[in-house]
């Protein structure tokens, strides 16, 4: 048999041997799931999720977020919260009870700087449903009787009790963060160990990104831009296994009919928009609802009070951008957060 005929007989066996070897190697290699990306609209903003999974979980994510919307949204007329705000005899659902309890705990920890009953003042200053003339001091004083986190409670039957039925609750400073937590909880239940979930700037990250590195999350520079089209990065943090939220008045403000620029954060104690030097408050916390609420609280209380609260709560880390007496941008962050800064 000549050499060419010999190879004709041996070639099929070599091909089978190669294919068999590849199959054996693959069988013994652990399966690595690809990364998926899902995004959509919820709570009047966009959500993004990047997660390691064999298939898309878009519809499961939307189900979680729609349940949060159906419980806590002020703008969904059929939500549990909307029915309570209309004075209907409504039993609270489990999501609302959980968030309400957490909100009350944070109100206590922040000396009332976080307050879910502040909605009447928010609306009066033009950041809610109404945009009209600015309230005078008499109107502010009148509305303050409907504000106070200690004036609301949930009874044993699951009904929300108000000191005055005209009180209105607003969970917008904690609900987005809670929505992120719910999606993160879904991923944890499914055994997904690498993911990033973001809703309107509120974020939870776990494990590593698609490049096998820590997640790089930017903090925007506080540039006055109400359209959010100019988003220059102030710093970048390398994060994993934590939640992050940012609150800022530099982008979300209101120009009154009189031409005054008003911060969107209202101080529940005074009834007026805050006038502190903090322009941006970024908080890292074990949960995104906690990070969300404390970020808002720090905007209300100002830099020195915020530092004192951080000292009492080692589970929190914060990065503040503020304006000094000369109007120059300055930054402050606690020592534990400095090691996360990459740029």
The whole-number average pLDDT for the span 35-54 is 96
Task: Kindly give the pairing relationship between strand 202-206 and strand 195-199.
Answer: antiparallel
**Choice among 143-157, 238-252, 282-296 with the minimum mean pLDDT:** 238-252
Q: Beta partners for 330? A: 322
More confident residue, 253 or 45: 45
**Choice among 130-139, 156-165, 295-304 with the minimum mean pLDDT:** 130-139
At 265 the pLDDT is 81
At 13 the pLDDT is 67
At 210 the pLDDT is 97
pLDDT exceeding 90 applies to what percent of the chain? 63
At 329 the pLDDT is 84
The whole-number average pLDDT for the span 103-118 is 97
Is residue 197 a contact partner of residue 180, using CB atoms and an 8 Å limit? yes
At 29 the pLDDT is 61
Give yes or no for residue 249 having a pLDDT over 80: no
State the chain's mean pLDDT as an integer: 87
At 234 the pLDDT is 87
- Domains identified in the chain and CATH numbers: 35-338 (3.10.520.10)
Give yes or no for residue 23 having a pLDDT over 70: no
More confident residue, 256 or 122: 122
Give yes or no for residue 5 having a pLDDT over 90: no
Give yes or no for residue 11 having a pLDDT over 90: no
The whole-number average pLDDT for the span 52-63 is 97
Give yes or no for residue 259 having a pLDDT over 80: no
pLDDT exceeding 70 applies to what percent of the chain? 83
Is residue 146 a contact partner of residue 168, using CB atoms and an 8 Å limit? yes
- Give the number of residues written for the chain: 343
Is residue 235 a contact partner of residue 218, using CB atoms and an 8 Å limit? yes
Give yes or no for residue 245 having a pLDDT over 80: yes
Give yes or no for residue 136 having a pLDDT over 80: yes
At 268 the pLDDT is 92
Q: Summarize pLDDT for 296-342 with one digit per residue, the tens.
A: 999 999 999 999 999 999 999 999 998 888 878 899 998 889 999 98
pTM of the model: 0.86
The whole-number average pLDDT for the span 21-26 is 60
Give yes or no for residue 82 having a pLDDT over 80: yes
At 222 the pLDDT is 76
Give yes or no for residue 228 having a pLDDT over 50: no
At 148 the pLDDT is 96
The whole-number average pLDDT for the span 172-181 is 96
The whole-number average pLDDT for the span 6-31 is 63
């Amino acid at each position: 048999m000549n050499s060419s005929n010999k190879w004709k007989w041996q070639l099929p066996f070599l091909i089978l041997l190669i294919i068999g070897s590849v199959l054996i190697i693959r069988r013994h290699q652990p399966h690595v799931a690809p990364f998926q990306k899902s995004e959509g609209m919820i709570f009047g903003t966009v959500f993004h999720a990047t997660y390691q999974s064999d298939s898309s979980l878009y519809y499961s994510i939307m189900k979680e977020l729609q349940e949060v919307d159906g419980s806590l949204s002020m703008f969904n007329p059929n939500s549990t919260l909307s029915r309570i705000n209309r004075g209907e005899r409504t039993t609270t659902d489990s999501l609302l009870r959980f968030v309400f309890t957490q909100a009350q705990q944070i109100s206590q920890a922040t000396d009332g700087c976080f307050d879910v009953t502040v909605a009447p003042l928010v609306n009066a200053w033009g950041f809610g449903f109404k945009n009209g003339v600015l309230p005078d001091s008499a109107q502010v004083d009148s509305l303050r009787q409907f504000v106070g986190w200690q004036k609301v409670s949930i009874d044993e039957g699951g009904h929300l009790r108000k000191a005055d039925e005209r009180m209105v609750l607003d969970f917008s400073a904690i609900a987005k963060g809670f929505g992120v937590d719910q999606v993160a909880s879904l991923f944890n239940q499914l055994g997904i160990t690498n993911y990033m979930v973001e809703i309107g700037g509120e974020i939870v990250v776990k494990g590593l990104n698609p490049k096998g590195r820590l997640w790089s999350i930017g903090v925007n520079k506080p540039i006055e831009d109400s359209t959010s089209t100019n988003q220059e990065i102030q710093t970048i943090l390398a994060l994993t296994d934590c939640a992050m939220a940012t609150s800022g008045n530099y982008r979300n403000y209101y120009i009154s009919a009189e031409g005054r620029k008003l911060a969107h954060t209202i101080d529940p104690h005074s009834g007026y928009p805050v006038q502190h030097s903090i322009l941006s408050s970024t908080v890292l916390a074990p949960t995104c609802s906690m990070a969300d609420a404390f970020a808002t609280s720090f905007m209300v209380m100002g830099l020195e009070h915020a530092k004192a609260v951080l000292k009492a709560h080692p589970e929190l880390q914060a990065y503040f951008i503020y304006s000094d007496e000369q109007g120059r941008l300055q930054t402050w962050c606690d020592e534990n957060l400095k090691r996360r800064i990459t740029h």
